[in-house]
Amino acid sequence: MVRVLSQVLLVIALVVAVSLSPALAQDRDPEAIVQAMVDHLLAEDFEAAGADFSPEMQQALPPDTLQATWEGLAEQVGSFQEIVGAPQVTQVNGNTLVVIAMQFEAALLDMQAAVSADGQITGLYFQPSAAAPPDAGDPKAIPDDLPDYIDLQAFEEREAVLNEGTDWELPGTLTVPADKGPFPAVVLVHGSGPNDRDETIGPNKPFRDLAWGLASQGIAVLRYDKRSHVHGRAMVELPQMTVDDEVIEDAVAAVRLLRREGEVDPDRVFVVGHSLGGYLAPRIAAEADGVAGVVILAGNARPLHDLIVMQTEYLLGLDGELSEQDREQIGQVEQVKEAIDNLNAAAPGAFFGAPAAYWVDLRGYDPIKVARSLDVPLLILQGERDYQVTMEDFARWQEGLSGQDDVTFISYARLNHLLMSGEGPGSPQEYEQPGYVATVIVGDIADWILDN
């Protein structure tokens, strides 16, 4: 196995989503049940850790498989350090979801455990935490080695607020060229996970790079903290959550905010989506008023749950072989994928960390079909070393949009999923090395926007 540090939705450990038991009286506190499981995991007593698992969980995660999963997690994100804050306990579909933030050496993860009304643990999942990581550093710090495409004298920044006055307020940053406007402008839409406005991953901040680089060339940029970053705990309480809640409503609000800004040309506001944001960019453009064009950066064309299986197989095979434990984990992921294929929106439980409604909504979304219906130009960019969204997705975009007017495709031999340069097969370790979005990406986006 390898260490996983990614803002793209990845399986970090096992999800088991099963039918939850009907309401029964119980004397044991769900939080105490989950805390006992965690204590046993930390003591490496895997038989005791699974004592409160439901029969389905015990079948899927017997002690040896649970041990392999826990040890594999440590290989991916380093050794366990500490529990951060108090557990968060919410009721979802009549059952209890206990979320514990766990600091590992290389990542802060939320462990989510579902407990049925009769006191059985029916689901277990680890994902990047919605809580702000400790010691994140100064987000406004300016590096000493900025790339040549950034001219700090060419723009200024000010704070912006999305959804002001609502329960979903989001802080953001508007980067505006120093020259006199009105300027073309872009909204940056994040990939999966609780991203901040810079889409920070390790030491890298690709959205800050894009904002400063594009503003240096006369394009205003709005970037903002994602709803799951700011309101992650509240979102856990949305049993019918979909990408509308996670991404689309806020991206549409960002377009609306930009079009009202005095320095911005309201007829030249573009959506630039990365990864999941690229996948959803056609839908955002279809729902927002006045979008002038769409840029898709490493956006998948395949269904998201298919992508998770592909990513899992790739990561587990990076060492050149698949062990018996690796194959078991892939099989478990495939089981969840198959369950998603047959879900109805009211199904209980979590699947890859999201409720059934999330996946049912995405099952009905065809990004290529929606892109074909748009009457705006599209720019689709893809790194050829990207292992998270691959050239297969790029080929699907090309095939599905062939014959469409005003669609531009560009791929880059040396770039990874963060649109940064490297060599050899892509791997998560790359994301731990400091870098910047490639100059050619900023230049190609700027040229395309200024021409439209």
Residues 85 and 200 in one domain: no
Handedness of CA 172, 170, 249, 437 (dihedral sign): positive
Domain residue limits at 231: 152-304+357-450
Cα–Cα distance for residue pair 436/204, rounded to 1 Å: 7
In order of 106, 149, 339, 345, the CA distances from 436 in angstroms are 20, 10, 39, 40
Predicted local distance difference test score (pLDDT) of residue 78? 75
Residues 201 and 121 in one domain: no
Predicted local distance difference test score (pLDDT) of residue 18? 36
pTM over 0.75: yes
Query: 3-state DSSP call for residue 35?
Result: helix
Number of domains composing the chain: 2
Q: Would you say 402 and 371 are in contact if contact means Cβ atoms under 8 Å apart?
A: no
Residues 35 and 4 in one domain: yes
Domain assignment present for 147: no
Residues 122 and 156 in one domain: no
- Report the CATH number at residue 76: 3.10.450.590
**Nearest to 380, CA basis, from 360, 359, 394:** 394
Q: Are strands 95-104 and 80-92 parallel, antiparallel or unpaired?
A: antiparallel
Predicted local distance difference test score (pLDDT) of residue 140? 60
Residues 265 and 388 in one domain: yes
Residues with Cβ within 8 Å of residue 82, at least 6 apart in sequence: 102, 103
Residues 15 and 162 in one domain: no
Both tokens of 147, joined, read: 């790339």
Residues 48 and 197 in one domain: no
Domain assignment present for 176: yes
DSSP 286-314: HHSTTEEEEEEES---S-HHHHHHHHHHH
Q: Are strands 170-177 and 155-162 parallel, antiparallel or unpaired?
A: antiparallel
Residues 246 and 366 in one domain: yes
Residues 115 and 169 in one domain: no
Domain assignment present for 279: yes
Residues 233 and 377 in one domain: yes
Among all residues, which ones are annotated catalytic? 275, 386, 417
Residues 108 and 184 in one domain: no
Which of 72, 103, 132 terminates a domain? The answer is 132
- Report the CATH number at residue 367: 3.40.50.1820
Query: 3-state DSSP call for residue 163?
Result: coil
One pLDDT digit (tens) per residue for the chain, 452 residues: 222 333 333 333 343 433 333 333 345 789 999 999 999 999 999 999 999 998 878 876 788 878 877 877 776 677 888 998 888 887 766 678 888 888 887 677 888 888 888 888 887 877 767 654 444 445 567 787 899 999 999 999 999 999 999 999 999 999 999 998 899 999 999 998 888 999 988 889 999 999 999 999 999 999 999 998 888 778 877 778 999 999 999 999 999 999 999 999 999 999 999 999 999 999 999 999 999 999 999 999 999 999 988 988 898 888 888 888 888 878 888 888 898 999 888 887 777 778 889 999 999 999 999 999 999 999 999 999 999 999 999 999 999 999 898 999 999 999 999 999 999 999 888 888 899 999 999 999 999 999 99
Which of 71, 99, 132 terminates a domain? The answer is 132
Residues with Cβ within 8 Å of residue 375, at least 6 apart in sequence: none
Residues 112 and 165 in one domain: no
Domain assignment present for 348: no
